């Protein structure tokens, strides 16, 4: 890694890199991230150079990265035992089916398994996260379906309270408030003044994603490679954001080019106003709709990207979007009101006024409702949850009257800070854009989205009955699915592995023998209420235990994923072990119910698509006084109804609470 020799040289370098656009900028070079995390970004100077010139630099945010443990490789016999336990519910009543699984597992342990395990352990040696490259590539960058709706995730922000009505109801004021808060967050990242996250104040979480959050984008890769890539730019050298309005893109400066200081709200608001009231009416009202290309299946987008970047003007505009800190989408012609409408707006909007490859993007509708969309290839939801909680919290803390006054202060230099990005689009590319819009409309039209927002109780009630709120909600889901279909479906819950360096997720398998006993007994008149409650508690406890093991890196699915990657078909035509091609083995990881929890009191929406087109995607929140599940599925393809599942979720949640209350009351008598 290149290092500057002295503080004086550092300041000279930074002065050049932050000089006005009339001077030649310092050439970009490829630097490794200062934490040694393996990613690279394009910059004029490495992070250390910029940090040395910041008087407020504290170095807290990534200070615990070196202490994080490496992701472990579980013992093969332990993973096999956990797998066998996890498939028992699917073989209940069929001893021969379970015996076959036992035999396949013995064959693995006595055959190819130990060799694959040895290869994996050898591969992991010297790596702090053996799975990182495999997972990022195969789960995300090689995935061909459109990132929206199939990969990206969204948050819908709650409306600001009545005290902030002027900000909430004016979309440009709301956008200014979001940008002002996000700028403060970015400044804290630059100074590394945000403390590293710790679980219960003792176990540090990996902060790697916070270095990959801003000034970055997913890139369509070479069409011949059948995979995408990511590009990262310096957080310290690109003090502007991109703005989308009516399908056009603009750059909006957030910091003074000379001093590097953040702009005041008035300077931000004036630029938004110029985009909407001046630039949009100055030959830009008719857009090419280039953003729609990012909604295509990735192979089609790669082909279109090659055509688009042949034009130097278009290539430069794309790079501006990639280098921007993040994207703000002004959907001023949209006015989402219901929970479902707000979720759709945050998830995909019209599919044109977006750039789905951007890692972080916010939207603001014409009625002030706002939200967030995250591109998933390098980040999971918890870091961006932290970001959005910060932004929403900052908006609540501000003095709304003072903010409105500050935002209204005249700014005569707005025309110098904001500019429209231009694209030269050939007739063939324009046809591709129009096709992309039609494909997006068709794809979204195949999906049904229904919100289960349950106000009878929340996690405080669940805690009062001494159960894990997350495990309890998983039991609501299991019982609702069983009530609806008369059987359980393979269910995934994302378990965070951020306690490890570059940790992302492991699979929590929600279907267990305990959950089978619980759902089968619940509707039986032959089982007492006390026994039903005990079965509920047993199932919740079993789920919590599995999720803890998964968070400790001791799940089933990522280990088997690693072993499969150790098979070399080019070496003596090596084949995968028979277990890995067994129908029940594959069914047990066919996630017909995919779930994940991210909770915020600032949101009234969170979601993403189903993982398997024959099942449901259930994104949920566990709030103090209410529960929330975003239900997504493809009804025509799956034959399943989100409306019916919604009904059974209500029924399950009501019945479980009533049973707990009755048992608690009985215990007090």
pLDDT of residue 415: 74
| pLDDT confidence tier of residue 247, bands split at 50, 70 and 90 | very high
H or E element: which one contains 227? none
277 is catalytic: no
Cβ–Cβ under 8 Å, residues 37 and 2:
no
Q: What is the mean pLDDT of residues 387-400?
A: 98
Give yes or no for residue 20 having a pLDDT over 60: no
Give yes or no for residue 232 having a pLDDT over 70: yes
**Top-confidence residue, 643 or 25:** 643
Dump pLDDT digits (tens) for 327-353.
999 999 999 999 999 999 999 999 999
Give yes or no for residue 35 having a pLDDT over 70: no
Pick the range with the lowest mean pLDDT from 63-77, 559-573, 615-629. Answer: 559-573
- Whether the upstream peptide bond of residue 149 has omega within 30° of 0, thus cis, is yes
Extended strands (E) in 446-546 = 448-454, 491-496, 505-509
Only one residue has tokens 């109804």, namely 641
pLDDT of residue 46: 87
| pLDDT confidence tier of residue 17, bands split at 50, 70 and 90 | very low
**Percentage of residues in the chain with pLDDT exceeding 90?**
86
Average confidence score pLDDT of the chain: 93
Q: What is the mean pLDDT of residues 165-179?
A: 99
Cβ–Cβ under 8 Å, residues 192 and 184:
no
pLDDT of residue 25: 62
**Percentage of residues in the chain with pLDDT exceeding 70?**
94
Give yes or no for residue 390 having a pLDDT over 90: yes
pLDDT of residue 282: 55
pLDDT of residue 396: 98
Of 269, 376, 417, 559, the active-site residue reads 376
Dump pLDDT digits (tens) for 466-506.
999 999 999 999 999 999 999 999 999 999 999 999 999 99
Q: What is the mean pLDDT of residues 603-628?
A: 98
Pick the range with the lowest mean pLDDT from 19-33, 162-176, 223-237, 276-290. Answer: 19-33
Output the DSSP codes for 561-630: HHHHHT--TTSTT----GGGG-HHHHHHT--SEEEEE---TTEEEEE---SSTTSEEEEEEE-SS-EEEE
**Domains along the chain with CATH numbers:** 7-53 (no CATH), 76-134+448-668 (3.30.559.10), 138-445 (3.30.559.70)
Give the list of residues 6+ apart from residue 310 with CB closer than 8 angstroms, or none. none
Give yes or no for residue 41 having a pLDDT over 90: no
Dump pLDDT digits (tens) for 533-546.
999 999 999 999 99
Alpha-carbon gap, residue 132 to 130, rounded angstroms: 6
pLDDT of residue 13: 39
H or E element: which one contains 364? strand 360-365
Phi, psi of 606 (to 5 degrees): -160, 135
Give yes or no for residue 7 having a pLDDT over 70: no
Q: What is the mean pLDDT of residues 220-231?
A: 93
């Amino acid at each position: 890694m290149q290092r500057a020799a002295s503080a004086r040289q550092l300041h000279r370098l930074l002065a050049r890199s932050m000089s006005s656009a009339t001077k030649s900028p310092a050439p970009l070079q490829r630097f490794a991230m200062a934490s040694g995390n393996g990613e690279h970004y394009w910059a004029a100077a490495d992070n250390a150079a910029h940090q040395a010139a910041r008087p407020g630099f504290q170095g807290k945010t990534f200070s615990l990265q070196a202490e994080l443990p490496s992701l472990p490789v579980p013992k093969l016999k332990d993973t096999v035992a956990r797998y066998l336990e996890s498939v028992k519910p699917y073989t209940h009543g069929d001893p021969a089916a379970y015996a076959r699984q036992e035999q396949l597992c013995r064959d693995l342990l006595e055959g190819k398994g130990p060799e694959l395990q040895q290869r994996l352990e050898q591969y992991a040696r010297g790596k702090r996260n053996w799975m990182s490259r495999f997972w990022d590539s195969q789960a995300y960058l090689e995935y061909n379906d459109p990132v929206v709706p199939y990969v990206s995730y969204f948050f819908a922000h709650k409306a600001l309270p009545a005290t902030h009505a002027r900000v909430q109801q004016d979309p440009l004021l709301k956008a200014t408030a979001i940008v002002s808060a996000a700028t403060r967050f970015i400044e804290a990242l630059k100074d590394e003044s945000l403390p590293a996250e710790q679980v219960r104040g003792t176990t540090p979480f990996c902060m790697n994603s916070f270095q990959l959050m801003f000034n970055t984008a997913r890139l369509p890769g070479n069409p011949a490679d059948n995979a995408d890539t990511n590009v990262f730019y310096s957080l310290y050298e690109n003090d502007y954001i991109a703005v989308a309005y009516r399908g056009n893109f603009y750059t909006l400066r957030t910091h003074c080019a000379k001093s590097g200081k953040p702009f005041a709200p008035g300077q931000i608001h004036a630029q938004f106003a110029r985009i909407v009231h001046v630039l949009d009416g100055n030959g830009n009202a008719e857009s090419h709709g280039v953003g729609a290309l990012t909604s295509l299946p990735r192979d089609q987008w790669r082909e279109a990207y090659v055509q688009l970047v042949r034009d130097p003007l278009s290539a430069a505009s794309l790079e501006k979007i990639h280098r921007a800190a993040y994207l703000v989408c002004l959907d001023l012609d949209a006015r989402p009101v219901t929970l479902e409408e707000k979720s759709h707006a945050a998830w995909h909007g019209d599919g044109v006024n977006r750039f789905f490859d951007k890692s972080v993007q916010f939207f603001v509708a014409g009625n002030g409702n706002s939200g967030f969309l995250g591109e998933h290839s390098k980040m999971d939801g918890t870091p961006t949850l932290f970001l959005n909680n910060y932004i929403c919290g900052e908006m609540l803390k501000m003095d709304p009257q003072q903010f409105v006054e500050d935002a209204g202060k005249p700014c005569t230099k707005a025309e110098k800070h904001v500019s429209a990005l231009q694209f030269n689009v050939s007739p063939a590319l324009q046809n591709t854009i129009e096709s992309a819009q039609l494909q997006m409309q068709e794809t979204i039209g195949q999906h049904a989205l229904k919100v289960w927002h349950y106000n009878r109780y929340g996690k405080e009630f669940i805690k009062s009955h001494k159960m894990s709120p997350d495990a309890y909600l998983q039991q609501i889901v299991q019982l609702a699915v069983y009530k609806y279909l008369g059987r359980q479906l393979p269910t995934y819950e994302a378990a965070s592995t951020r306690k490890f360096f570059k940790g992302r997720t492991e699979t929590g398998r929600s279907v267990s023998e305990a959950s089978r006993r619980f759902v089968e007994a619940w509707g039986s008149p032959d089982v007492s209420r006390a026994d039903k409650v005990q079965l509920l508690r047993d199932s919740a406890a079993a789920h919590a235990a599995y999720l803890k093991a998964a968070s400790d890196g001791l799940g089933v699915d990522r280990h088997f994923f690693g072993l499969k990657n150790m098979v070399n078909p080019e070496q003596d035509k090596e084949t995968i072990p028979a277990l890995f091609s067994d129908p029940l083995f594959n069914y047990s990881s066919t996630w017909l119910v995919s779930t994940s929890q991210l909770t915020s009191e600032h949101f009234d929406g969170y979601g993403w698509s189903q993982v398997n087109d024959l099942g449901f995607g259930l994104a949920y929140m566990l709030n103090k006084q209410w529960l929330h599940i975003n239900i997504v599925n493809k009804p025509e393809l799956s034959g399943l109804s989100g409306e019916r599942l919604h009904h059974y979720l209500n029924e399950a949640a009501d019945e479980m609470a009533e049973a707990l209350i009755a048992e608690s009351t009985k215990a007090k008598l």
